[in-house]
A and B are shown apart, each in its own frame.
Chain A
């Protein structure tokens, strides 16, 4: 199987590329900057550039579309250009090139409207209800992708939830940095249960999705994938901090205050056009203050997959990685 992976450079992208190469797939990657990945064909370019995408997908039979503009802030136009138009471009090029399997990497946030999610099933993507530009653009992208599912062009959307692992600069990096600086706070009492997903498990889930996305009950569907081990926010933060050799968080911000502060910072960033990350956003406050964990039975059955790295093992590997500097 010749597979195009878009956005193969980040934490998850590089893990997926490694996983596919290991499984003997012939992998091409498309991204804007050289990745240095071994054993793959590399095409440099933007997912919203039809010519670059057509070049990359030529000769492939399968696509893992991972490239996205990921940020908690920033103007809508950039999210729309990369996440919405980029997905449309990759879908069109894939069909033109004769690809028959397409895995859209999505996000549970496409269906999260701020309520607690307790053992929830994957709900349909909802651009109108999604919180923030990123979630809205990814919701539109998922609808585009699943809408393209048809005989001969099987599309499955996979929504990995809170991917983390050694080298992660988003969740792990920020928590470790703040914990070391003594600035790590919990929203509310930190008792909300959240699902997370160790990066190697995410990569395996995507590889399984690629193998099975042509099957009935798999194509045309969206699946949330997680480790299936929900833990409290306090424990997740505490164990990441511990792996980084820092003290667990002891300070708390009441939920309403955190959300109000996040909303204020959102507004300030929007007015001033800042593109760096604010210390808190309303979306983040909600994410850290409300439960969001998922019923993993549909994903495990459809993908014939179970996470191979449990949370305990994942945190141990994270500690080793920190210790190795």
Chain B
């Protein structure tokens, strides 16, 4: 131990730190010794009066109150923010004592008292500040109105392999060598932030820890982490871990999933203890999540404001956004009711037909229903309970369908990832949804192994044994409509894929909307050319067929394979993605007359999954002359929303965007006008012609986004409505036209411009294969720029003649036309143009030389 030294003020000029916040506070510590603390305090020594609320921030190891500078900077006037440097840390006193967890909790209480914090308090803590803050909370419950935790833990499972880094740092001599004698631990912690941390900020984090003496507590802190039951702090930590289970307080968990120390398992443990907590995982952020995720501090203040507005009432845990309640009027008909009914009424009829060994495997209704029931009981016997999440990594087919309905039957929630997300995307998605069980084919399980998810793995080859087990085990009670049914993922074409949660009630309404609108009955048979839709067949009570194709790649579907599938079940309804339709039309020349004739049984063809170009719909109409060719509009969060036939599209003629039709009965569509800055914060309106974000409401929209509290709040900020992120307008007939994504709106000085209308007009020019319109320049004064793929035009700035031709067709003052060989598209649907990337390219190219600093001073908004 080195000599004690008093508290001091931080040096001036640390980035983001206001010197007026710093103050020294004296109080008696846990042992009754007078100590001095350095604290940051927005109300340091001024006469701002009694605050309505105090936010108490507790840092971890080895940071200091500097971690909270942005929280102080953004504090509302009537909120006091206090961030304490713990003793032996930051600029607080070096005590030359060993301070255990219990001591640190008492220390915090002492300094809070000395600061005269008497009113309501929200605690915000990071790292090992988490247990300390929670220890204080448990001793001051009456005063606390909310708790916020960032990357922390309150419990070390004995079998836990992590936090390996901390264990390593603690192992004997390495502890002193690493954390005390060298600044390596301090530096390593700032390195646990993403690569973006400016050097000056990293230096500010390290500033109070120059010299081994000043770092002594870092080592002591690390040594005080109780990994083993006999540890002096183990009892205190266990008390906290158990105590918070009874905290009926609003809680917010903000998480950097890239943290090698506090990995997602600790988040899961906290959710288990604080089930009421709102959770937001900042994909890509690491241990110093508040440094890595710039939105975090704003989100924190938004959450606190929400809690204040709700007068600190306990958050409605059951239903966020009011959508769960809107389905109450409908009867609770289980999602598997169609399967049960067909099994009872037409047991020998075909429920599912799938390609198998060069021919077809035909699964009857009774077999499918029986298999699902046996698996349900068997899976329950294997420990899958109501409310558990089960990741299912099985390709579309009978196994998948049986497992999904088995899970639904016992109230387990199915986590569905599709191959289009890519290995990295599936990895991220599973870590985000944190399933308790995984059922998969060998390839799927191998993928999961890499994610280090806990919980049971079940291989597909075990399913027969599980079904046998189900013969002798009881069937658990069925779930209700409030139970979670499924977690699906957005395409991720605009940032990391988001998990979308549906409850049984919302799935039931999706099923009912589809059945009613498309008049589906027992005589129908679904051709699932987009294979995952085969799962919905049993819910709808109609048989389905999966064509012979690589189900993970719609482009592998040939016209002949599709015809064989239609023939196999005498298909009446087909669901296909634009990529599949493109491929089918491209190979239609290979059809035999008999195959071609088989398309005659189709009465309804639905093209969906991404915007379907009229040419594709026309192609399908000539291939399936008896069919009503339609395209539903919807999204992962709400499907379907609108619907339009190819005939209506033709009749409407060209317009500003893609006509997606009228809302389905029971579904409402409104527009939220987009402003100069490209934000859609206007009131919801059905005014014709107004360009803005498309906002939808219906009994079938998503329950919420998973562990994305801030995203969910923004998407559902009009209670009961879902913000789609799509850009569009309603016409005088109440039909919806989509003009692209809100994020891609071009904000010109003459108002916002939707890219799709421009693109359609340019694409009508002869020789233009594909076009994309993006904005260049600061929001509100952008100019439109068109990228075009043109026959015989080399990549680069288009010549004068082409430029003028494109500009005239576009009908807007296009600043420049850039030719490309092909446009970048997303991998999942192979059709959504990556306009954000193109906007960056256009911005760089059209800025010309980048000047001395190498950066343009205006970037695309």
Measuring CB to CB, which residues of chain A are less than 8 angstroms from any residue of chain B?
Answer: 114-120, 188-193, 228-235, 238-239, 242, 248, 255, 286, 289-291, 293, 295-297, 300
**What string of 1s and 0s marks CB contacts (under 8 Å) between B815-829 and chain A?**
110000000000000
Does any Cβ of A come within 8 Å of B173's Cβ? no
A101 to chain B, nearest CB (A): 27
Contacts of B777 in A (CB 8 A): 118-119, 293, 295
Q: Are B848 and A115 in contact (CB under 8 A)?
A: no
Contacts of B848 in A (CB 8 A): 116, 188, 191-193, 233, 255, 289-291
Q: Are B813 and A116 in contact (CB under 8 A)?
A: no
**What string of 1s and 0s marks CB contacts (under 8 Å) between B323-361 and chain A?**
000000000000000000000000000000000000000
CA distance A239 to B849 in the complex (A): 22
Residue among B778, B846, B849 making CB contact with A286, cutoff 8 Å: B849
CA distance A291 to B847 in the complex (A): 5
Q: Which 10 pairs across A and B sit closest by C-beta, in order of nearness?
A: A192-B848, A118-B858, A119-B777, A115-B851, A295-B781, A116-B847, A289-B849, A119-B778, A290-B848, A119-B781
Does any Cβ of A come within 8 Å of B843's Cβ? yes
Q: Are B816 and A191 in contact (CB under 8 A)?
A: yes
Measured CB to CB, the nearest residue on chain A to B853 is A115
A166 to chain B, nearest CB (A): 20
Contacts of B780 in A (CB 8 A): 295, 297
10 pairs of residues in contact across A and B, judged by CB atoms under 8 Å: A115-B852, A116-B856, A191-B797, A193-B846, A193-B848, A228-B749, A229-B813, A231-B815, A239-B800, A295-B781
List residues 740-786 of chain B with CB under 8 A from any CB of chain A: 749, 776-778, 780-783
Measured CB to CB, the nearest residue on chain B to A311 is B813
Known contacts A232-B797, A235-B803: does B851 contact A114 (CB below 8 Å)?
A: yes
Q: Are B815 and A230 in contact (CB under 8 A)?
A: yes
Contacts of B859 in A (CB 8 A): 118
CA distance A190 to B799 in the complex (A): 11
Measuring CB to CB, which residues of chain B are less than 8 angstroms from any residue of chain A?
Answer: 749, 776-778, 780-783, 796-797, 799-800, 803, 813, 815-816, 843, 845-853, 855-859
Q: Are A191 and B846 in contact (CB under 8 A)?
A: yes
Q: Are B847 and A192 in contact (CB under 8 A)?
A: yes
Contacts of A248 in B (CB 8 A): 799-800
Known contacts A291-B856, A295-B778, A297-B780: does B849 contact A234 (CB below 8 Å)?
A: no
Contacts of B749 in A (CB 8 A): 228, 295-297, 300
Contacts of B799 in A (CB 8 A): 238, 248
B752 to chain A, nearest CB (A): 14
Contacts of A297 in B (CB 8 A): 749, 780-781
Contacts of A230 in B (CB 8 A): 783, 815
A298 to chain B, nearest CB (A): 10
Residue among A118, A188, A228, A229 making CB contact with B849, cutoff 8 Å: A188
Q: Are B857 and A238 in contact (CB under 8 A)?
A: no
- A contacts with B: majority SS: mixed
Extra 5 A-B pairs, beta carbons < 8 Å, given A118-B778, A234-B797? A116-B851, A229-B815, A230-B783, A290-B847, A295-B781
Q: Are A118 and B843 in contact (CB under 8 A)?
A: yes
B778 to chain A, nearest CB (A): 4
Known contacts A118-B858, A291-B856: does B776 contact A193 (CB below 8 Å)?
A: yes
Q: Are A291 and B846 in contact (CB under 8 A)?
A: yes
Q: Are A296 and B781 in contact (CB under 8 A)?
A: yes
Contacts of A232 in B (CB 8 A): 797, 815-816, 846
CA distance A27 to B13 in the complex (A): 57
Measured CB to CB, the nearest residue on chain A to B852 is A114
Measured CB to CB, the nearest residue on chain A to B775 is A119
Residue among B782, B849, B850 making CB contact with A119, cutoff 8 Å: B782
Contacts of A117 in B (CB 8 A): 857-858
CA distance A231 to B846 in the complex (A): 9
CA distance A248 to B848 in the complex (A): 19
Q: Are A255 and B800 in contact (CB under 8 A)?
A: no
B858 to chain A, nearest CB (A): 3
Contacts of B846 in A (CB 8 A): 118, 191-193, 232, 291
CA distance A224 to B782 in the complex (A): 16
Query: Of residues B796, B847, B852, B857, which shows the largest number of chain A Cβ atoms within 10 Å of its Cβ?
Result: B847
Q: Are A189 and B781 in contact (CB under 8 A)?
A: no
Contacts of B858 in A (CB 8 A): 116-120
CA distance A235 to B797 in the complex (A): 10
Contacts of B816 in A (CB 8 A): 191, 193, 231-232, 235
Known contacts A115-B853, A118-B843: does B800 contact A193 (CB below 8 Å)?
A: no
B246 to chain A, nearest CB (A): 56
Q: Are A189 and B796 in contact (CB under 8 A)?
A: yes
Measured CB to CB, the nearest residue on chain A to B796 is A189
Q: Are A116 and B800 in contact (CB under 8 A)?
A: no
Measured CB to CB, the nearest residue on chain A to B856 is A116
Contacts of A233 in B (CB 8 A): 848
Q: Are A238 and B800 in contact (CB under 8 A)?
A: yes
Measured CB to CB, the nearest residue on chain B to A115 is B851
Known contacts A232-B816, A235-B800, A295-B749: does B853 contact A191 (CB below 8 Å)?
A: no
Contacts of B851 in A (CB 8 A): 114-116, 290
Q: Are A116 and B857 in contact (CB under 8 A)?
A: yes
Contacts of A290 in B (CB 8 A): 847-851
Query: Of residues A120, A189, A230, A289, which shows the largest number of chain B Cβ atoms within 10 Å of its Cβ?
Result: A230
Measured CB to CB, the nearest residue on chain A to B807 is A312
B217 to chain A, nearest CB (A): 47
CA distance A291 to B799 in the complex (A): 19
CA distance A229 to B815 in the complex (A): 7
B838 to chain A, nearest CB (A): 15
Contacts of B797 in A (CB 8 A): 189-191, 232, 234
Measured CB to CB, the nearest residue on chain B to A258 is B849
Q: Are B857 and A115 in contact (CB under 8 A)?
A: yes
CA distance A173 to B264 in the complex (A): 68
Contacts of A229 in B (CB 8 A): 813, 815
Measured CB to CB, the nearest residue on chain B to A285 is B849
CA distance A296 to B803 in the complex (A): 23
CA distance A242 to B804 in the complex (A): 13
Known contacts A116-B856, A118-B858, A231-B815: does B849 contact A192 (CB below 8 Å)?
A: yes
Measured CB to CB, the nearest residue on chain B to A241 is B800
CA distance A242 to B800 in the complex (A): 10
Known contacts A116-B851, A291-B846: does B783 contact A193 (CB below 8 Å)?
A: yes
Measured CB to CB, the nearest residue on chain B to A295 is B781
CA distance A232 to B849 in the complex (A): 13
Contacts of A192 in B (CB 8 A): 846-849
CA distance A188 to B797 in the complex (A): 12
Contacts of A189 in B (CB 8 A): 796-797, 845
Contacts of B803 in A (CB 8 A): 235
B805 to chain A, nearest CB (A): 13
Q: Are B847 and A118 in contact (CB under 8 A)?
A: yes
CA distance A116 to B853 in the complex (A): 10
Measured CB to CB, the nearest residue on chain B to A254 is B849
CA distance A242 to B803 in the complex (A): 14
B808 to chain A, nearest CB (A): 10
CA distance A233 to B800 in the complex (A): 11
Contacts of B778 in A (CB 8 A): 118-119, 295
Measured CB to CB, the nearest residue on chain A to B858 is A118
Contacts of A190 in B (CB 8 A): 797
CA distance A257 to B435 in the complex (A): 60
Contacts of A242 in B (CB 8 A): 800
CA distance A238 to B856 in the complex (A): 25
Contacts of B850 in A (CB 8 A): 116, 290
Measured CB to CB, the nearest residue on chain A to B808 is A312
A112 to chain B, nearest CB (A): 10
CA distance A296 to B851 in the complex (A): 23
Contacts of A239 in B (CB 8 A): 800
Q: Are A193 and B815 in contact (CB under 8 A)?
A: yes
Contacts of A289 in B (CB 8 A): 848-849
CA distance A297 to B780 in the complex (A): 9
CA distance A235 to B801 in the complex (A): 10
Contacts of A119 in B (CB 8 A): 776-778, 781-783, 858
CA distance A234 to B819 in the complex (A): 15
CA distance A290 to B850 in the complex (A): 7
